Amino acid sequence: MVIDYLLGHSLTGGDVAVRVREEMGEETPPLLLLSSSLESVPQPEIELFDVVLAKATELPVIVRTVLRLKRRTHTRLVSPTPEEIAERKANDNTPV
């Protein structure tokens, strides 16, 4: 699933990633964050994604990355749970 970071109405790709992981659990597909403003994405939110790419990335690279993720879904790392994200936020005051 490819998700942009800045979605408008105070909604971020991190919000979407948390919701998808909460609702899909073990069935969550790999999540790819694609953003033009990666420097503004807090580290705890970056960790929600399996891959993070800048929008300036060429389309063939994005396509290859998505296909690679699809092939290795069973071996990907598990992203932090919403509870772990909340704990990190509480510990370092990073916006999530």
- SS3 for 51-83, per residue? EEEECCCCHHHHHHHHHHHHHCHHHCCCCCCHH
Distance CA 88, CA 45 (A): 10
**CA distance to 62, 68, 90, 93, per residue, from 33 (Å):** 11, 15, 23, 22
Find the helix or strand (DSSP H, E) in which 47 lies.
none
Give per-residue pLDDT as tens, 41-94. Answer: 888 888 899 889 888 888 888 888 888 887 766 444 455 667 776 776 677 654
Q: What is the pLDDT of residue 49?
A: 92
- What does the pLDDT look like over 8-22, one tens digit per residue? 888 899 999 999 999
